[in-house]
Structure 1
Amino acid sequence: MGRLLHISASPRDEASESLRIAQVFTDTYRETHPGDEVEHWDLWDGSLPDFAVGAKAKMTVFGGGEPQGAEGAAWAAARRTFERFDAADRLLFSVPMWNASVPYVLKQFVDVVSQPGWIFTVDPATGYGHQLAGRGKRVAVVYTSAVWGPPLGPEFGSDFQSTFFNDWLRWTGLTDISEIRFHPTLTGDYEEARRTADAQASGIAKGF
């Protein structure tokens, strides 16, 4: 039995296009993968740990030490977050564009789970090692925006949303990435963009 984990970064509930498109994906996935488990992780639900003390613990680990006390508790909380993420063999992220990039709660998730020995290793000669590579995990990402769109010039903003997040995924070793796009822009055909995104989501979910 497989496991699909939907990690959502929008707090807008029914008003969110990224969540709506992700629902199309998960509905199709449930229909076509009836034996698989599907879980939704709302990053706004308070489950992400604060990482101020965790950042100190990270440097303790880098130095070859074992975090103790408050650092140890923060490190354990980060580890639990990573294990929830790592337990899925199929990952769906719904990511709205905020100020040309991703919502800060998604960056918090990235910073919490991106730890030495879990996500990456570092070698002075060869650079980073990608710890999630070669494990058969697949990723789908729903990218949405309202103003910026691929055909528009820089006066309508820039895409640091998918460029940042896709780069992070590949850095972890997750390279099997499917994108679902919804960028209707201010003057585009909103309903047509919706139909296209829904068809993408459904089509990818069937073979995911």
Structure 2
Amino acid sequence: MPTILHINASPRDSHSGSLRLARHFIDEVQSAGDGTFEVETVNLFDAGVLPGFGRIAAAAKMAVFSGQDQTSEQMNAWEAARAVFEQFAAADAYVFNIPMWNAGVPYVLKQWIDIVTQPGWSFGFDPATGYRGLLEGKQALAIHTSGVYAPGVPAAFGQDFSSTFFADWLNFVGIEDATHVRFAPTVLNGDVDGTRRAAETELSEVATTFAGKLSAAGLLQLVND
């Protein structure tokens, strides 16, 4: 069964506009696919979801790449990081809901990205040709929300380093089939409900194509099996 990994980067639960849209999109995809997709949601702000990646994990990483033996403590840290990556890599498609925080992505999303983005895992490097993403053949849908910023506003109303960073990261790891939908602004807006409905309509339109590609991926898996 094809799997959608939903990465929720908001801590606001039912009050989150980005999470509400993500759930709307997933429901539409399931409807288009007759409920044949498995959905796994990771709430990044939940305690214990992400392992730390500090001094010990960094030393474990350098031990791997320098051909040295890891200590038991380093092995545990590296295995914890690897588990997060394997959950990421095992999915066939991705849904991300990303509220803008201080012009960038929430820190837990950056932590998750830094854990899964390791050489030999999600990207490779050739001295002659440069970086190459290793997660090819997958698709992603990213929902970006912001309270005040919106495309085209004066700089005094904020800037967007969130969606640009995230789009670049997706491409870096090889996920080139990516759609970005924006719901903004969510505060400085005289018609928030209308803007949300427009985003929902856009997501509903995207869902049919998303489901079709996911179904095709599932059929390919059956053939390969």
TM-score range, shorter chain: over 0.9
Q: Once superposed, which parts of structure 1, at least 4 consecutive aligned residues long, lie more than 4 Å away?
A: none
Q: In structure 2, what is the equivalent of residue 29 of structure 1? A: 29
Superposition pairs for residues 168-207 of structure 1, below 5 Å?
A: 168-184=169-185, 186-207=188-209
For the residues of structure 1 that align with 2:71 and 2:135, how far apart are their CA atoms?
27
Aligned partner letter, 1:64: G
Can you list the C-alpha shifts for 1:91-145, whole angstroms capped at 9, x where unaligned? 0000000000000000000011111110112222221121112xx2100000000
Partner of 2:9: 9
The answer to whether the aligner puts 1:89 opposite 2:53 as a matched pair is no
TM-score (norm 2): 0.88
Decide which structure has greater helix share.
2
**Residue in 2 aligned with 1:38?**
39
Residue pairs, 1:43-192, within 5 angstroms: 43-45=44-46, 46-52=48-54, 53-133=56-136, 136-184=137-185, 186-192=188-194
Amino acid at match of 2:39: V
The amino acid that maps onto 1:51 is F
Contact 1:180/1:200 (8 A) holds in 2: yes
Distance 1:203 1:78, change over 3 A: same
Q: Distance in 1 between matches of 2:181 and 2:30?
A: 18
Deviates most, 105-114 or 118-127:
118-127
Q: Give ranges in structure 2 of 5+ residues lacking alignment.
A: 211-225
Q: Is the 8 A contact 1:67 1:75 kept in 2?
A: no
Say whether the 8 Å CA contact 1:144–1:183 is kept in structure 2: yes
Where in structure 1 are there 5+ consecutive unaligned residues?
none
Which secondary structure does the structure 1 equivalent of 2:68 belong to? Answer: coil
Q: Distance in 1 between matches of 2:141 and 2:88?
A: 14
Contact persistence 1:30–1:38 (CA under 8 A):
no
Letter in 2 for 1:175: E
Partner SS state of residue 70, structure 2 = coil
Taking only the aligned residue pairs, the percentage that are identical comes to 50
Task: Report the Cα distance in structure 1 between the residues aligned to 2:72 and 2:105, rounded to whole angstroms.
Answer: 33
* 1:201 Cα deviation after fit: 1.6
**Secondary structure of 2:91's aligned partner:** coil
Normalised by the length of structure 1, the TM-score is: 0.95
Q: For this pair of structures, how many residues does the alignment match?
A: 206
| CA distance in 1 between partners of 2:30 and 2:129 (Å) | 42
Instruction: Name which of structure 1's ranges 99-108 and 118-127 shifts more when overlaid on structure 2.
Output: 118-127
